[in-house]
Amino acid sequence: MDNILLKVENLHAGIEGKEILKGINLTIRPGEVHAIMGPNGSGKSTLSSVLAGNPAFKVTEGSATFHGIDLLALAPEDRSHEGLFLSFQYPVEIPGVSMVNFMRAAVNAKRKYFGEEPLSAGDFLKLMRQKREVVELDNKLASRSVNEGFSGGEKKRNEIFQMAVLEPRLSILDETDSGLDIDALRIVSAGVNKLKTNENSTIVITHYQRLLDYIKPDFVHVLYKGRIVKTGGPELALELEEKGYDWIKQEIDNQ
Amino acid sequence: MNSLTQYIDLYRQNADAINSHSALIMNEMRPAAASALEGKRLPEKGDEGFKVTSIEKMFEPDYGVNILRMNIPTEIGRSFKCDIPNVSTLLGVVVNDSFTPTSTMRQNLPTGVDVMPLSKACETYPDIVGKYYNKIAPANEPSVALNTMLAQEGLFIRIGRGVHLESPIQIVNIFNSPAPLMGVRRVLVVAEQDSKAAIFFCDHTQTADVKFLSSEIIEVAGEKASELDIYSIEETTPLTSRYSRLFANQENDAKIRVGTATLHCGVTRNDFTINLKGQHSEGYLSGLAIADGQMHVDNCSNVNHLAPHCDSNQLFKYLLDNNAQGAFEGGIYVDPKAPFTVGYQNNRNIVASPEARMHTEPQLLIYNDEVKCSHGTATGQLDANALFYMQARGIPYETARRMLMIAFMTDTLDTIKVEGIKSRLMMLVEKRLGGEQVLCNDCHADCHTNISTPRE
pLDDT tens digits, residue range B133-166?
999 999 999 999 999 999 999 999 999 999 999 9
User: Which residues of chain A lie closer than 8 angstroms to B410, CB-CB?
Assistant: 96
Strands of B155-159's sheet, edge to edge?
A: B113-117, B155-159, B181-191, B212-222, B240-250, B267-276, B296-305, B325-334, B357-366
Q: Which one of A46, A48, A94 makes the best mutation probe of the B interface by having the most chain B beta carbons within 10 Å?
A: A94
- Give the minimum alpha-carbon distance from B7 to chain A in angstroms, rounded to a whole number: 48
Q: Does A94 contact B392 at a Cβ distance shorter than 8 Å?
A: no
Q: Is residue A1 part of a domain?
A: no
d(CA B108, CA A35): 72
- CATH assignment at residue A153: 3.40.50.300
Q: Which residue has the higher pLDDT, B448 or A41?
A: A41
The C-alpha of A239 sits at a distance from chain B's nearest C-alpha, in angstroms, of 34
CA atoms within 13 A of residue B113's CA, in its CB half-sphere:
21
Nearest Cα of chain A lies from the Cα of B376 at a distance, in angstroms, of: 18
Report the half-sphere exposure of B413 (CA within 13 A, side-chain side): 20
Q: How many CA atoms lie within 13 A of B30 on its CB side?
A: 23
Query: Does residue A52 fall inside a structural domain?
Result: yes
Measuring CA to CA, which residue among B355, B336, B345 is closest to residue B313? B345
DSSP result, A86-126? EE-SSPPPEEEEEHHHHHHHHHHHHHHHTTPPPPPHHHHHH
What confidence tier does B448 reach under pLDDT thresholds 50, 70, 90? Answer: very low
B383 to chain A: nearest residue by CA?
A: A94
Band (pLDDT 50/70/90 cuts) for residue B72 is low
Interchain contact, A109 vs B394, CB within 8 Å? yes
Closest chain B residue to A51 measured between Cα atoms?
A: B392
Q: How confident is the model at residue A237 (pLDDT cuts 50, 70, 90)?
A: very high
> What is the DSSP-derived secondary structure letter of residue B114?
E
What average pLDDT does chain A have?
93
Q: List pLDDT tens digits, range B10-35.
A: 999 999 999 999 999 999 999 999 99
Closest Cα of chain A to B281: distance in Å?
Answer: 30
A105 domain-assigned? yes
A81:B394 CB<8 A? yes
Contact A20, A48 (CB under 8 A): no
Q: Which domain does A69 fall in, by range?
A: 6-253
Give the residue among B382, B425, B426, B392 at the shortest CA–CA distance from A105.
Answer: B392
Partners of A80 on chain B (C-beta within 8 Å) are 391-394
Tell me if B384 and A96 make a contact (CB, 8 A cut-off): no
Q: How far is A52 from chain B (nearest CA, A)?
A: 7
- Per-residue pLDDT, averaged over B402-430, amounts to 90
Residues pairing with B99 in the sheet: B94
Contact A54 B388 (CB under 8 A): yes
Q: How large is the average pLDDT for residues B327-349?
A: 97
The residues that bridge with B388 in the sheet, in sequence order, are: none
This complex has an ipTM of 0.96
CB B98 within 8 Å of CB B117: yes
Rounded to a whole number, what is the distance in angstroms from the first to the last CA of chain B? 37
The residue among B393, B402, B411, B430 with the most chain A CBs within 10 A of its CB, best to mutate, is: B393
Q: At what angle do helices A121-134 and A99-113 cross, to 10 degrees?
A: 110
Q: Which of A51, A97, A116 to mutate to test the interface with B (most CBs of B within 10 A)?
A: A97
Please give the full DSSP string across B283-296, using - where no structure is assigned. Answer: EEEEEEEEE-TT-E
Q: Flag if B391 and A110 touch (Cβ within 8 Å).
A: no
Q: Do B399 and A109 touch (CB under 8 A)?
A: yes
| B319 confidence band (pLDDT: 50, 70, 90) | very high
Among the ranges given (A200-204, B66-70, B236-240, B243-247), the one the predictor scored with the smallest mean pLDDT = B66-70
- Nearest-neighbour CA in chain B from A183: distance (Å): 26
What is the mean predicted confidence (pLDDT) over B107-132? 95
pLDDT tens digits for range B178-225:
899 999 999 999 999 999 999 999 999 888 899 999 999 999 999 999
How many domains are there within chain A?
1
Please report, for residues A158, B25, B113, B116, B272, the alpha-carbon distance to residue B129 in angstroms, rounded to integers and kept in the order given: 60, 8, 15, 12, 21
Break chain B into its structural domains and give their ranges.
Answer: 3-433
Residue A221 lies in a domain: yes
